[in-house]
Structure 1
Amino acid sequence: MSTTAFLLHLSGPMQSWGERSRFNERDTSTAPTRSGLIGLISSALGRARDRPIGELAALGFTVRIDRPGRLLRDFHTVGGGMPRSLTVITAEGKRRSSDKATLISDRYYLADAAFTVAVTAPDAGLLDECAAALRDPVWPPYLGRRSCPPTAPLLLTTITGDPLEQLIKLPLARVKPNGETESVRVEFRSDAPLEHPEWPHLPAADQIYTEIQDDPVSFLPHHRRYQTRPVYRRHEQLPADQCGGYGTDYIDRLIEHLGPAPSPGSAPS
């Protein structure tokens, strides 16, 4: 059977998925953005920023928020203490004076967050190509910013069944809550309405709906362009026993659920 999707695990000490970053304030979305995910895959493929988005525009993403993390603010300075010949250039092409050389910015990150992402596309060949690149990336991957490396390999598995079904059943990268809690509340986000036979029917009009401008048109450094896309969000209860913990505990649960990793060149699971 042809590949219908592949699953990614995104976790690290810090992540930052800029959504509206401008000038001296660099924000982060509370979940991976479409531009960030396509950029991540482009980097794995070894595509330069001046390459067209091309067929990657057909990729679809459904994000499961395993751990939302905590918002972290970094008070950041650039250029202080440098000789004037090395200070930041102004809009007029001049150098800043020493008393105005230091530029201040606020940069925001998600600390200790974890996400599982189902990546889909109409073209199974494209999915296989992207999955192979994520398994052996051309350039080192990072989670939104170069200062945010992942803590584990990104690619979990390729699948041939229903991507949402696989995403729902996969172990959660979080610790099971104390007590006799039978379920945990988990948020899903997608650019298409979210429906599953085991979930209560919720018409698209009643799902949490927003629009964000994170659909990339061009990654050109001096001519980046994005267009608006819809985001559907819904919260569902998943079994508390599905919580796989952290670190090696989570890896062990993944191996138990997915089975051992296929050998190179073997058919996808």
Structure 2
Amino acid sequence: MASHLLLRLEGPVMAFGGETIDNLGVIRDFPAQSMLTGLIANALGWRREDAAAHDRLQARLIFGARLDRPGARFTDFQTAELRKDDAAWTTSGVPEGRGGGEGTYKGQHLRYRDHLADAALLIALRLEPAAEAPTLEDIAAALKRPIRPLFLGRKPCVPTAPLFAGYIEAPNVLTALTQAGRCADNPCARVQWPAGEGELAGSRRVDLCDERNWTSGVHGGWRPVYQASLKAEGQA
């Protein structure tokens, strides 16, 4: 048996980013490994320049998610007019300037961003090795009193309740997700868990590219996960 930390992700709007193509920001139903890493790091007060710490935390995370309320998808149409003298902050903490002639910046920058409205998820996670800092207890304390404001995917997506939802003892992530408390409006939840963390009839394997290189800022590599639906009967 191992101790798993539970997080409740719930808010009017959230966005778990997938593969962005040009100006289309698509989403997935479940949070990425990199998104959860960034969420925890933000609660701990880390800076994005702390690449080695982010990479190590991401490598230690063993987690799964249960979609208790799927919500509804919608697409936000965004516009921005960027001028030659406008500077943008980068992940390195240094503003980035612009070049080119004045005509380069005529017209607005258009993009589309998908979101989930009124969804609710439960996350079960543990760390390996468990004794290395930060520990589950360190993360729980940070979620209760985060150093900075937390958001669910994109910065405008603020949670409506505290993220810390307790602990559960379980032999693997799937068992933790199936045995944790269930939402009253959850007739048939969907779950996602990493390979080797439990088996469920009717599941399907999905290969995800959701791990970030925190030095380059680029996602790469693949990890296998499984997805399935849970029947309400027989669940706690």
Contact kept, 8 Å, 1:8 with 1:154, in 2: the verdict is yes
Q: Which residue of 2 aligns with 1:228?
A: 222
After TM superposition, give the deviation of residue 217 of structure 1 in Å: 2.5
Q: Which residue of 1 aligns with 2:209?
A: 213
After TM superposition, give the deviation of residue 118 of structure 1 in Å: 0.2
Give the Cα separation in 2 of the matches to 1:101 and 1:195. Answer: 52
After TM superposition, give the deviation of residue 214 of structure 1 in Å: 0.5
After TM superposition, give the deviation of residue 240 of structure 1 in Å: 9.2
Residues 124-139 of structure 1 mapped to structure 2, 5 A cutoff: 124-125=130-131, 126-139=135-148
Q: Deviations over 1:126-161 (max 9, x none)?
A: 222222211211111110011100110001012344
Which structure would you say has the larger Rg?
1
After TM superposition, give the deviation of residue 175 of structure 1 in Å: 2.2
Greater displacement, 206-215 / 24-33:
206-215
Residues 35-50 of structure 1 mapped to structure 2, 5 A cutoff: 35-50=34-49
1:151 aligns with 2:160: yes
Which structure shows the bigger proportion of residues in strand conformation? 2
Contact kept, 8 Å, 2:84 with 2:100, in 1: the verdict is no
Moved over 6 A (4+): none
1:191 aligns with 2:194: yes
After TM superposition, the score normalised by the length of structure 1 is: 0.72
Q: Which has the higher contact order (CA 8 A, sep 6+)?
A: 2
Number of residues paired by the alignment? 221
Unaligned runs of 5+ in 1: 177-183, 243-269
Give the Cα separation in 2 of the matches to 1:240 and 1:69. Answer: 24
SS of the residue corresponding to residue 232 of structure 2 reads strand
CA gap 1:129/1:123 in 2 versus in 1, 3 angstroms: farther
Give the Cα separation in 1 of the matches to 2:108 and 2:224. Answer: 39
Contact kept, 8 Å, 1:72 with 1:108, in 2: the verdict is yes
Give the Cα separation in 2 of the matches to 1:30 and 1:17. Answer: 7
**Identity of counterpart residues, as a percentage?**
29
CA gap 1:187/1:108 in 2 versus in 1, 3 angstroms: same
Give the Cα separation in 2 of the matches to 1:207 and 1:135. Answer: 34
Give the Cα separation in 1 of the matches to 2:146 and 2:227. Answer: 30
Give the Cα separation in 1 of the matches to 2:235 and 2:195. Answer: 28
Give the Cα separation in 1 of the matches to 2:174 and 2:235. Answer: 19
Match of 1:239 among 230, 233, 236: 233
Unaligned runs of 5+ in 2: 89-96
After TM superposition, the score normalised by the length of structure 2 is: 0.81
Match of 1:104 among 107, 110, 118: 110
After TM superposition, give the deviation of residue 165 of structure 1 in Å: 3.7
CA gap 1:192/1:103 in 2 versus in 1, 3 angstroms: same
Contact kept, 8 Å, 2:63 with 2:125, in 1: the verdict is yes
Q: Which residue of 2 aligns with 1:30?
A: 29
Which structure shows the bigger proportion of residues in helix conformation? 1
